Amino acid sequence: MSHQEEGFPRLNGMRVIVLDDDQSICRSLARVLRGLGAEVATAGSLREGQLLVEGAGADVVLADLKLRDGTGLELLPVFQKKNPEGLFYLITGHGSVDSAVQALKHGVRDYLQKPVDPLHLARRLAHDAAGRRPSILKMRLDPYLLFRDPVMAEALADVPRFAALEEPVLIQGETGTGKELVAMAVHKMSPRAAAPFVAVNCGAIPEGMLESELFGHERGAFTGALGVHRGRFEQAAGGTLFLDEVGEMPLPFQVRLLRALEEGRIQRIGAEKPIPMDVRIVAATHRDLREDVEAGLFRRDLYYRLDVLPLRLPPLRERRQDIVLLADHFLKRTFDAMGRHFRPPALARDAQAALEAYPWPGNIRELRNAMTRMAVRIPEEMREVTASFLESFLNREIRREPAGDGIWIPADATLAEAERLLIDHALERTGFNRRAAARLLGIGERTLRRKLNRK
């Protein structure tokens, strides 16, 4: 019986160092932890343990109290300097329990008596890591996402835990909130990280081509099928399939997708036999799928099949502590891409205040585009971006913020732009309730959905 079947928690991506001069203990603990998804390095002496901690680093250290060349406790200050948020445990024999208890005063997380029970160890590591997950989360997600606002940290707090599982993840959030980046983070932190991450925008593929695009087709299956085509499910074999804008998927195809997910196999168009699939599904949508289910626009059974592990990403206006951080990042990234030989100017306080005051209906994507446009226009002699420069350059972006319950539409706005502003304002006033926003605009809910899909 496997550890997973016995109820062992997953430790995916956790970096563990096991330090014990008894190599049989090192091997047995390493075997258990690796089987649960952890990355494990072992050492047989204090010196080897110090080299591992100072070199590769770790999230967790399991150190025997008594070693041939010292004590495991001597490794603690080295580990704390390298990773202040890490977890340090002592492994002790029955005769050294008193010493281990005293060590708790020095920052040791806990002590484990020999022989170490694997199930107890796995549960303890999972529990303690979850208790420190904001710090561990930031460390793990920095390559993929930038944030410091507690609202965003809370929204992403479950990502490491969800990544360790195999069930579908459903990411919901407004357009431009970074759903694909989060999907990639889930993949990179999962046991499938070494396998492909394949993304498909369900709303960008014509209905007649969706089945071929996802499931593939055989040669001669239809006019124009000149060869075998491996669909996205096959391309993602062993990895993660990201179904972006899954709410735009036509109802007839939702039935076929549900069947594939439930049966764990797909069938190419024109093929005689199905193909077993081994993919982890992560789906995303800017729509409220519960509302779509009630309106008959999305199948209830497929919704419950996808909404196993839900994540909701906050809009940028709800994580204002991140606006300047992201703006500065986009400025620097554009300068690097352009190969400009001078450093980008800092954002003055009034410019930062102007950025934070704006509602950013287009979220991170709109901020990125605005900073990219501004970076192109910044002269070399500028040392600081002021609010006057920012507003004169962005004009509509900053100045269209409504005063009170009104809305300001620029005189030179096109009809499509004015319509977009009215829709954004109605959504903001109704707390992004589409049904209420449609009533406020005097149009039907389906009409509003069509207009949102064109945005």
Lowest mean per-residue pLDDT among 98-102, 286-290, 330-334, 361-365: 98-102
pLDDT confidence bin for 182, thresholds 50/70/90? very high
Q: Mean pLDDT of all residues in the chain?
A: 83
pLDDT, residue 3, reads 43
pLDDT for res 401 = 43
Query: Nearest-CA neighbor of 214 among 166, 150, 258, 157?
Result: 258
The rounded percent of the chain whose pLDDT value lies above 90 is 31
pLDDT of residue 392: 65
116 in Cβ contact with 93 (< 8 Å): no
Pairing of strands 216-217, 66-67: unpaired
Chain region(s) in the chain for CATH 3.40.50.2300: 15-131
Please name which of 312, 233, 314 lies closest in space to residue 269, comparing C-alpha atoms: 233
R_g (Cα) of the chain, nearest Å: 27
What pLDDT is recorded for position 403? 38
> Would the pLDDT of 253 be above 70?
yes
Under the banding of pLDDT at 50, 70 and 90, the label for residue 245 is: very high
Choice between 342 and 325, residue whose per-residue pLDDT is larger? 325
Assess if CATH 3.40.190.10 describes domain 15-131: no
Averaged over 248-255, what is the pLDDT?
Answer: 91
Residues of the chain with CATH 3.40.50.300: 142-314
Reported for 100-105, long-range contacts at CB under 8 A and 24+ positions apart, including other chains, are 100/65, 103/65, 103/73, 103/76
**What's the confidence (pLDDT) of residue 12?**
75
Domain 142-314 top-level CATH class: alpha beta
**What value does the mean pLDDT take over residues 354-376?**
88
Bigger pLDDT: 310 vs 138 = 310
Q: Where in the chain is the domain with CATH 1.10.8.60?
A: 317-454
Of these ranges, 67-71, 131-135, 232-236, 407-411, the one predicted with the greatest mean pLDDT is 232-236
Q: Identity (one letter) of the amino acid at 435?
A: R
pLDDT in tens, 389-425: 887 666 444 444 443 445 555 555 567 767 777 887 7
| CA separation for the pair 427, 438 (Å, rounded) | 9
User: Is residue 282 within 8 Å of residue 169, measured between CB atoms?
Assistant: yes
Indicate if the pLDDT at residue 431 is higher than 70: no
Q: Which two tokens stand for residue 288?
A: 């409220």
Closest CA to 228 of 257, 279, 269, 277: 269
Mean pLDDT of 182-187: 93
Per-residue pLDDT at 246: 94
How far apart are the C-alpha atoms of 211 and 380, rounded to whole Å? 52
Evaluate whether 376 touches 334 at the Cβ level (below 8 Å).
Answer: yes
What phi and psi, each to the nearest 5 degrees, are found at residue 222? -160, 170
Per the confidence metrics, is the pTM higher than 0.85? no
Query: What per-residue confidence (pLDDT) applies to 307?
Result: 94
Query: Using one digit for the tens of pLDDT, what is the confidence trace for 91-113?
Result: 887 555 566 566 666 678 888 88
Asked if residue 180 has pLDDT above 70, the reply is yes
70 has a pLDDT exceeding 50: yes
pLDDT band at 380 (very low <50, low <70, confident <90, very high): confident
Dihedral of the CA atoms 240, 242, 243, 244 (nearest 10)?
A: 170
Q: How confident is the model at residue 123 (pLDDT cuts 50, 70, 90)?
A: confident
Tell me what pLDDT residue 115 has: 87
Query: How far is Cα 103 from Cα 16, in angstroms, rounded to an integer?
Result: 20
pLDDT of amino acid 124:
84
Kindly indicate the confidence band of residue 117, based on its pLDDT and cuts at 50, 70 and 90: confident
Please tell me which residue, 239 or 377, carries the higher pLDDT value. Answer: 239
What does CATH list as the number for 317-454?
1.10.8.60
pLDDT class for 229, splitting at 50, 70, 90?
confident
d(CA 250, CA 232) in angstroms, rounded, equals: 17
What pLDDT, on the 0 to 100 scale, is given for residue 129?
77
pLDDT at residue 407 in the model: 59
